[in-house]
Every structure is written in C-alpha cells, then in structure tokens.
Chains A and B, each alone.
Chain A
Amino acid sequence: MTGKEISIIHPRPSSIVAALYTLRDLNVDVAILHGPPGCSFKHARLLEEDGIHVVTTALDESGFVFGGHDRLVELINKSVELFNPKAIGVVGTCASMIIGEEMHEAVLEANPDVPVLEVEVHAGYHNNTKGVLFALESALDAGIIDHKEFERQEYLLKKATDVEKKFGAASKEYLAPSRGDVKYKVAKRVLQLLKEGKKGLVIMNAKKETGYMFADITLAVNEVAAALGKKENLINMANIDPSLGLPRVRQHAEYIMRDLKAHGVEMHEIIGGMDEYPVAGEMVSELIKEKYSDFDFAVITGVPHAIPMEHIRNMELISVTNGPRQVLPLKELGHEHVLVEIDLHPKTLGVSEIVESEFGATLREVAKET
C-alpha cells in the first residue's frame, strides 16, 4: 500500500475531455456525451472545429432520477441518421456514472452498423490521462488499435503523468496562473543573443496538435537568424516523426514538417513522435550531452519541463508553454525566461498548417525595428 496523492486545489484537466480528444485521434466521427447538457461544453465546442461531432443526451433532473437509457438509444440512432458516421464514441459523465447508467445496454439496443467505442468515464480521477486510457482500452476491444500501439500509449501516458507530477501543473497543491514574461523583452533578448553570434538550440517538444503553433516559434527564430546571417548558429530539434502515433497524430507531424521545409528550415534532429513529448526530453538530453553541450542558449517550446535540466543547466533558457500554471514550475527549475502562448489550443484545432504564435509574431516585428 502506498500513501495518498497530494490534494491539488486548482481545477485540473478533465478525464471526460481527455477521452473526447482521444476519440478524435482515433478518427471517431461522432462522440455522444451521456450526461447533462453543459458537461464539457467548451471542449466539445472546440472539438467540432476538428471535424468530430459532439452531441449530448442532455440529461436533466428527470434523467438523473429515472435514468437516461431511452434517451441514449434515441441519440445513437439520431446520430447515425444525421452524420452517417464511420465510428461512434459513447462517453460517460459524472452524472451518468454516479447513477449507474449502463451505456452498453443502450448500445446493444440501438445496435448501429458501425463500431461503437464505449468509454465509462467521469471527471473524478486524479490524473486526466485515465480518460485517454479508457478510450484506448475501448479501441483495443473494438480492434481499432493493436496491442502493441496500446502498450506504447499506456507507457507514454504513465510518463506524461509522471512529468506533470514532478515538474508540471500537478506538482503542487496550488499553482497560481501566470502569463509569464513580457514577449517583447524576451524577443529582444533572443535577437541580442543571435547578433552576438551565440549558438542556440531551437527545440520543439510539443503535444500533438499544439505543434501547429509552437512550430511557428521554430520558424520565427530561424527567420530572424537568417536575416542576421546567423542561421548556421542554430540547431533545430522537433518531435515530428511522422511514423509514430495514431493516424491523426502522424498527419500533424507530416504537415508541420512540410511547412518547415517550405520555409527552408532544416530539421537537424527528430526527437520522437508528436505523442512522445513525455519521453522525447530524454533523447534531447542525450543529444545535447553528445553533440551540443557547448551551446549558449535554448529556445524550448511545447512541454519544456519534460527536458531534464542536467545538460541544459548552463544554457540561457527561453521556454514557451501554453499552460499558465506551468510558468512557476519552469522558473523554479531554472528556466530564465518563460513565455505563455495564451489560448493556443483553440487556435490549433481544425488546422492543417502552422499558425502564427504571439511570440513568433513579436520576434519578427522586433527584428524589423532593429
């Protein structure tokens, strides 16, 4: 028996939402939330931008009291009619799971001709990765992923949870959100480093689709360096191996690679797939130890806290995250400049090319001024 987990008092990512995103990665067309109409509203809305329909059984007080079986059967049938999906997800919520709804029975009764992934999940787990795991288990049962991929994902999820607990937003009982350092000042500092002929690493270690915006920072740093004639002082790394992960995740890697190439950015080191952000840091650390230990600075985007400090401790670190609660832990680790791309995620859903980042845009503008 081991002890209790720390009790974190800031709101945490939801396992229900995690299940929804996973269903999207599995190319499910329609996700049915079995629960109250407002549950997971914000993300459900955003996910529609990514081509997955999210609908809800909209359980009300009567639904809580009398159950929502019939409603769920109806909605499965209606979803087939409306969207003609190739695969459907049925996702639990706190309310439906507490009252003991058996979603499986509704699925059996509706019996649609397409595979249905049932995810019995609520938001009451310490780690939201539980929602991903449940969705993947369901996909495994339905034969949509094989055992090897399941085990790979399971391992990555465990690592992701570890990283968050050690260095991330789950590392403290309470973390105040912060917008980080002023982008204008940090942009100036990056330009100065480049002008001085300092050698820099540009590392993107991004979680899946968030890479569409973090890659813009790689792009911007390379652009301004090229303008200064210092491009050869940069080494680029990114976790954009297009042969790893679920189909949709591989596609993101392909698109980002395509855009970087089109802009003449050379990718020196591929550090893993776009779902390998929790483990790619180890590879970065090895690479730096072997080849780049004498570099002066590093711009690290995505999940900077997954990169061990051991071999980057002596570099000036400019880190960009999309988590306002990640600022403090990064500062504590020793990252000198920490920037936040606010509202990154909504802007990277439903896109298939690199989108402009605030820091990238600032860097380009500041470069013009000087």
Chain B
Amino acid sequence: MKKQKIIAIYGKGGIGKSSTASNVAAACAEAGKKVMIIGCDPKSDSSITLFGGRRIPTILDLLRDGVNINEEDVVFEGFAGVKCVEAGGPEPGIGCAGRGIIVSIQKLKSISGDLLKEQDLIIYDVPGDIVCGGFVAPVRKGFVNEAYVLTSGEYMPLYAANNICKGLSKIGMPLSGIICNSRNASREEEIVTKFAEEIGSQLMAFIPKRQVVQDCEREGYSVMEKAPESDIADIYRKLGKAILENNNKVTSGSLSDERLRELTN
C-alpha cells in the first residue's frame, strides 16, 4: 500500500497559504489523485475558490446547532473532485478557536474515518500563527506527516517562517520543504533558497507573483479552474507533483535573528 500524504502548510498570515493549498489540491486532483483539503481557519475560507466563491457549511456551525452530523453534511466536492471540509470557528474575540479545531478534527475523524483513509493527499490549511495548543491539533490528532512552510523573501514573512520552523522541531514535527510565494522582493529566490538550505531543508517551488492569481480569486476561482493554461497553473502542477514525490524530511533548524537580517539585507 502506498503511503498517504497528510500535509500542513504553515506560514505568516496573508502570505497565500489558502490559495497555494487550493491550487495544489486542484492540480493533484486533476492529475488523478484523491485529494482532500481541510480548512482549519476560523475564517473558513480555505475552500472558497474551489466552489466558485461559495462558502460551505462548517463542522462547528453544525455542532453548535446541536444536530447529528453525517459525512454528507460537511464534506463537499469542489472543483476537480477535491473533497473539502471547513472546521469553522467563532468570530474574532469570542470563545476559543483552538478548542474548535480540536473538536472539529475529532468529529471529522469519527464520521469520515474511511474517507480520510482513502485519500492520496490530505492538506490541512492551518492559521498563520500557532497561538495555542488547539492550533497544533492537525499535527497531533490529524496525523499530519509532512509540514511545509510558505514564505516570501521579505524579512517579516521569513521571520515568521523561521519561528514556525523552531516550533515544528519543538513539537517533533519534521519539515518537508519551504515554498516561496513571491512578493517581488529583490533577490527573492536566492534568499529563500539560502534560508531553506541553512535550516537543513529544501526549496520546493518558487511561485512568481502573477496578477492572474488575484483576478481568479476575486471572481471566486482557483487558477487551475479559471486560468489552466497560465504559466502559474503549471507551476502549481509541478509543486503538486513535487509534494507527492517528496521523501525529504528533516528536523528543522532555525536561524538567529542576526543571520536572518544578514540574509535579507
């Protein structure tokens, strides 16, 4: 039996985790893989571009209504057959989003155990900052076996990425690669490649900044659906393939603040 890939993509808020996750998911599904994307952000917008801009009901919303939840109530098939789930969560400033992630992952496991096992690739789209225990639930309770960190070549996103790498090694989660989502910073590919090497990992892909990604998202679609012929669609296809074939796992190192400054200057 081939090994199942269960991955999580980490990175600074707003760096493009959800759009990378949904495009990679769509690309792998197009290539004939069974793919599931599990959105763990309380904003529940991970899968929105796979449904033409529509939102799907979230696990926590249904739990709050006190109803018995079945698989068909929370697992929806989006573009290219990607199975999509949104954990959901409270509004900002209320309740406990971390507990929400724990509860929804446990619920999903109890109602969709078989479906989860069937997938070739499961992508957990997690919030940018792992601010409390609940945010590690995908790793600990969802059996994530590969973690990727998304960053640009700018200082702040790299700083966040470096912190995340520190965190990952602290919780014993190996790092499988760094993905660069370009923001047109100078020497960006060089900087991120260097960063990846110095922490002992590898650069999986360099995703150039393209207006078409924004345009598709504004309309509520992934690039894979709305602009499948674009160069960026091909890059997502390559990244998907690289992730599916990747066997590299390291206990991530991290850089000192000084070194990080040096690298980005």
A residues with a Cβ closer than 8 A to B are 1-5, 67, 97-102, 105
Contact = CB atoms under 8 A, between A and B. Distances in A.
Given A100-B132, A102-B140, A2 B67 contact: yes
A258 B135 CA distance: 55
Interface string B162-189: 0000000000000000000000000000
A98 B136 CA distance: 13
A207 B126 CA distance: 46
Interface of B: 65-70, 73, 96, 98-99, 102, 132-137, 140
Interchain residue pairs A-B with the least CB separation, the first 5: A100-B133, A4-B66, A1-B67, A100-B134, A99-B133
A102 B133 contact: yes
A100 B68 contact: no
Given A1-B73, A67-B133, A99 B68 contact: no
A67 B134 CA distance: 12
A3 B67 CA distance: 6
Contacts of A2: 67-68
Contacts of A1: 67-70, 73
B104 to A, nearest CB: 13
Contacts, number: 37
B136 A100 contact: yes
A98 B99 contact: yes
Given A1-B73, A67-B133, A100 B98 contact: yes
Contacts of B98: 98-100
Given A2-B67, A99-B134, 12 more contacts: A1-B67, A1-B68, A3-B66, A3-B67, A98-B99, A99-B133, A100-B99, A100-B132, A100-B134, A100-B135, A100-B136, A102-B136
24 contacts: A1-B67, A1-B68, A1-B70, A2-B67, A2-B68, A3-B66, A4-B65, A4-B67, A5-B66, A67-B133, A97-B99, A97-B102, A98-B98, A99-B133, A100-B98, A100-B99, A100-B102, A100-B132, A100-B133, A100-B134, A100-B136, A100-B137, A102-B133, A102-B140
Between A2, A5, A99, the greatest number of chain B beta carbons within 10 A of the residue's beta carbon is seen for: A99
A100 B137 CA distance: 8
Between A1, A3, A101, the greatest number of chain B beta carbons within 10 A of the residue's beta carbon is seen for: A1
Given A1-B67, A5-B66, A98 B73 contact: no
A99 B66 contact: no
B112 to A, nearest CB: 16
A326 B97 CA distance: 38
Contacts of A99: 98, 132-134
Nearest to A65: B132
Nearest to A101: B133
Contacts of B68: 1-2
B1 to A, nearest CB: 23
A246 to B, nearest CB: 25
A98 to B, nearest CB: 5
B111 to A, nearest CB: 12
A102 B73 CA distance: 29
Contacts of A4: 65-67
A102 B133 CA distance: 8
Nearest to A122: B99
A97 B132 CA distance: 12
Contacts of A98: 96, 98-99
Contacts of B69: 1
Between B68, B102, B133, B136, the greatest number of chain A beta carbons within 10 A of the residue's beta carbon is seen for: B133
Contacts of A101: 133
Contacts of B67: 1-4
A97 B96 CA distance: 12
B4 to A, nearest CB: 21
Contacts of B73: 1
A167 B170 CA distance: 52
A67 B136 CA distance: 13
Nearest to A67: B133
